[in-house]
A and B are shown apart, each in its own frame.
Chain A
Amino acid sequence: MSYSYGSAKALTEVTFTVPSGQTVALLGANGAGKSTTVDLLLGLKRPETGTVTVLNSTPQAAVAHGRTGAMLQTGGLPTDSTVKEIIDLACHLYGHRRTADEVIALAGLDDFRRRRADTLSGGQAQRVRFAVAMAGKPELLFLDEPTVALDFRARRQFWRAVKEEGNTVIFATHYLDEADEYADRIIVIDRGRVIADGPPQQIKGDKSLEYALVKLTGGTE
């Protein structure tokens, strides 16, 4: 698939297939095209050329049936709503596949139920967004830069919760270490193109990728 913003080419013939159960990292620097890829996979944008198939249907249908969950990089939370209200809404929208209490426990939000979303710290807000993404027991989970607002310990906890679910995960990150540690497979995106695709060991060992990866190694706090 390809996509442009006006005359700026964002993605050029990006092609990949993710088998069920795999955890895939879309690794690239800021502006490489990761978020555009996620938006296309979620049906928020339509590709100029090419097709996108998600869970054997269109992205729009997969989203409408609640088969996907997504944590977007630019996804904010509503002001004035409490954490509990947001999670109640999410559980309802996904047809009550989980109870609000289950989701709250899963995301570690027990102490924040009655807090208003606009009073949460970055890390706490991130957990609420994770809760919304998990409310429907998604077959396929999209995470766009999921741990940017999290410290080391919170990042570990976050990934433990994701892995316990055992669903297919596609996550965008600019941290090589995060991709290496949690992904079964890394797709490296650079300036809108896929420049490498393989298991972490292969990607890290690929000398021709050194230039692209050096930009990404400074990112782990």
Chain B
Amino acid sequence: MLAYTKFEVLRTLHNFRYLVFLVLMPVVFELIWGKQGQAVTAAMAVYAATGAGLIGSGSAIAEDRATGWLKQLRVTPLSDRAWLIGKIVQGVLTVIPGVLLVSVIGAVTTHVGRWPLLVAVTVAGSLPFVLIGVFAGTLFRGRTATIALVLVFFTMMFLGGVVGGETIWTLAPTHSLLTAGVGVLESRPIGAEALVNLAAWTVAAAVAVLLRWRRA
């Protein structure tokens, strides 16, 4: 499983779209707007975590189903379970570059002292997004999954108030992750509401993945 995870991490790091849209874009936004305060840094860390989480793992699954690479893997000794765990672990790991860069820039430009906590919270909180991405990757084939995930990404960003200012839906996982991120930067404890909501999303997405993945 570790070898497979490493393989998928390297593969993602070679992906141009991942590097531009899921690492570089939040970094550039942080450089432009980060001076406005810690809330922006938290929002950009959530952008990086949500985007890379949703798209970084799941879209490749859909692609591999379409090209036949998944079928080829299934006739190697890699078990279905090791494959699934490998993809989920890769999804969380490839959230790190964007989140880390945004947080470090925040630390340098606006003296966000508790940036390591922001990294820890947003990387851990990316798990439900990774699972939603994996679910979409096993549900849709090829490019359709990427399009669906990009739509989910922007919808969740707006609903959760990560971009656009107002929070439209307080139960959006993006909102909970933002609340948690801003909270740790301001030295407040993470509220139970945000944790429970993220846990609920994680469980729901995990159930969806487990019900669906064997048919992929």
Q: Chain A: residues with CB nearer than 8 A to chain B? A: 42, 44, 63-66, 68, 70, 72, 74-82, 85-86, 88-90, 92-95, 116, 129, 132, 136, 142
Contacts and interface: CB of A to CB of B under 8 A. Distances in A.
B11 A93 contact: no
Between A80, A92, A95, A116, the greatest number of chain B beta carbons within 10 A of the residue's beta carbon is seen for A80
Interface residues of B, number: 23
Given A63-B77, A95-B77, A132-B76, A80 B12 contact: yes
6 contacts: A63-B76, A64-B79, A79-B15, A79-B60, A85-B11, A88-B7
Given A76-B64, A85-B11, A129-B72, 8 more contacts: A78-B60, A79-B67, A81-B10, A81-B14, A85-B7, A89-B7, A116-B14, A142-B75
B64 A44 contact: no
Given A65-B77, A80-B12, A93 B3 contact: yes
Contacts of B12: 80
Q: 7 smallest A-B Cβ distances: which pairs?
A: A76-B67, A75-B72, A76-B68, A92-B3, A70-B75, A66-B77, A74-B68
Contact of B68 (A64, A66, A75, A81): A75
A87 to B, nearest CB: 11
B99 to A, nearest CB: 21
B169 interface: no
A95 B76 CA distance: 11
A116 to B, nearest CB: 7
Nearest to B15: A80
Given A74-B68, A75-B69, A94 B11 contact: no
A85 B78 CA distance: 16
B77 A136 contact: yes
B71 A75 contact: yes
A44 B77 contact: no
Contact of A77 (B3, B67, B76, B79): B67
A146 B7 CA distance: 26
B74 interface: yes
Interface in B6-38: 7, 10-12, 14-15
A85 B15 CA distance: 14
A129 B12 CA distance: 21
A81 B73 CA distance: 14
Contacts of B69: 75-78
B14 A44 contact: no
B75 A78 contact: no
B4 interface: yes
A42 B75 contact: yes
B46 to A, nearest CB: 26
Interface string B73-87: 011111100000000
Contacts of B77: 63-66, 93-95, 136
A116 B11 CA distance: 10
B71 to A, nearest CB: 6
B76 A90 contact: yes
A78 to B, nearest CB: 5
A211 B115 CA distance: 75
